Structure 1
Amino acid sequence: MPLYCEYAMATNGGALEREGMTALPDMTELVRKAQRVVLLLAPGDVTLLRVKVPPLSPARLKAALPNLVEDQLMSDPEECVVVADNTRSDTRTVAVVQRTWLELLARTFVTMGARRIVALPAQLCLPYQRDMASAAVAEHGEDIDVAVRLSEHEGIGLSIVADQPESAAFEVMQSLAMMVPNGAVTLYVPQARVRDYQESLNIAPTLNERITLHADNWPRWIGAADKVQVDLMTGLGASTGPKFDWSRWRWPMALAVALLAVNIVGLNVDWMRMKREAEFLRNSMVQTYKSAFPKDTVVIDPLAQVRQKLAAGQRQSGQLAPDDFVALAAQFGEAWTSIGQGPNAIAGLEYRDRSLTVKLKPDAKIPADQLTSALASRHLSATQPNAGVWQIRSGK
């Protein structure tokens, strides 16, 4: 037999959109669409304790809570979920519930597609007024659950089985008067049962003076639930936290993957085309080099080897290469003279690795910009590796 549940759908601002009662399996679509599922746990299933806690970090307090409440529980704390409120006071409200039952609820709603699940004690979801208790009646056939909020941080649950259906309302109020012997009580009952409860109050004047009846409604529960600071689902870890809805992103992700695949294929095709062109150009240069120099059997870098051959041919024919010592020295001498400098400022010349190194005397004052410009006009480049040292290279 399916479990029937009362439910309500509300906006983020708390406005009621839809309410009703349906079988739990039929709520799958509603659960999947909701951003958050809030479970109001029956007050008889949740024990609320006021516990004085030491000043510990949240992680250490969570580990210490079972030991702090062990003496007040009839069951093994390891079989329970124990969660404290998120206030900073020395005395906290601690909620205790059976772990296996809460895990079953969590698995059920996760399977139904819930993104985030919150579990709150129903007795703390009742409106709170100073010096006044509040209670709510939930009837399930012959079984009646009564949630009672005694103070801002305390609440209990009553389970009542009436001897006769006609006397159920009177027995509820009698039990409530025994649990709250002093002070006024606000009692919320189902809309269809307001008349029966009012008639029972009229029979007992003492109860009528203390108990005020109101028809129950979802907006009252929704408004009070937003202020509750004890979420029992936090005791189960991250398994009931927010879940990312991948189903909404399956088409955008498929499109992104398709675009990425197209780009990767395009890049690989372009790379292969350029690689073939590079191989064709290299083979052409190698063939040209071998045609010009058939005696050379080893060709590693045809372009560099052609330059070496041309330079060697120029030397053999008596021509100077642009980076020979004589050519560099002559061009440097012309540039040096053009800026009005004499030989007295030069300490020495050195030729190495096809570059001319000019060492200046310590007291020499050279207009660097003019010298660089004069050298550039003669296709020479100049750098200063150290102070008073110029390195001249051919720019051809």
Structure 2
Amino acid sequence: MRQHLRLALPPLSALTLDTSITFVQVDREGSAARAGQMSVAELGAQTGSVSVYAILHPDDAIVAGIKVPPVSKQRLDAAVAASIEPMSLSEINELCIAHSSRAADGAVTVAWTARKPLEAAWALLAQAGLNIAAFIPQALALPSGDPRPSEPLALPAGPRWLAPLPGWSLARDDLRPASASGRWRRAIYWSAAAAAVWVIGLSWHAAQLANQVETLQQDMQASVLTAFPKIPVVIDPLRQAQTQRDALRLAGGAAADDDFMPLALAAAQVLVFAQSHVHSMRYEKGLLSLTLAEGYVPPANEAALAQSASAHQLLLQKDQTQPHVWHVRRPAPAQTHAGRP
């Protein structure tokens, strides 16, 4: 492990050169060699070229696990964006999205945050002289099974600070400040030139096979888009065509009440107290589970809340074992009829 610095950032909207930042310097053995608090400007003046891993405040980034069908590396970004679009409360082009590689079972860990605040924070940290190597959501920087995942990192520098970090982050090259990228531009150019010479030989033969595969894929995609023009992105032509066909057969082209979007929209009308406090959400087989961030005001009258949910044809339940977790689903047909006079 290389020596590096880990920072516990405050909410990005509050970050200035005078903001006091809690930091831990990690040595080659993975131990805390030094810890403390300094302003952003002081840290930049003292750290030099040491790699800095900026850990985002829990409220600034969302982490989720998704399943993605087999796609090429070039199409994985588009597949991930299409998968998280229903879960995001913002437009996709307003987000900075990063993800792990795809596992054998299709599992991908994905994280996203607001694009403009992250870009502004990176520019400010680079202005101070900090060599940002990664922006990592706190959920991915904590040890596995941490009992307080929504609690920001703080001193003293215990095990919460020293967990292994993922090999990917939200520090995307398209957001890198010009001043921060200048130091690496020449090295990148030479590396790219060397890689290009090596790749050209392999590419010539691979291109012959790839052209045939690409033509077949384009024909399949064109056929699917012609048959189902409402599909925004074709990732797996065969599976998507089967899904659209089955949906049209079963529902005449209309979404069921317990599909994600109708259920989420109805829940938003009932869970007014959760506005601006949704930390994460999970949908599976008609059940929507919301995890709220700390600081929300719970409803004073849960009976009235249950009546409001019933009026919107929802069953609302607070999780008995996990704090701040609410479950929302549609009642079964028998329950719906039993509740009517």
| Shorter-chain TM band | 0.3 to 0.5
TM-score, scaled to structure 2? 0.43
Is the strand fraction higher in 1 or 2? Answer: 1
The structure with the larger Rg is: 1
TM-score, scaled to structure 1? 0.38
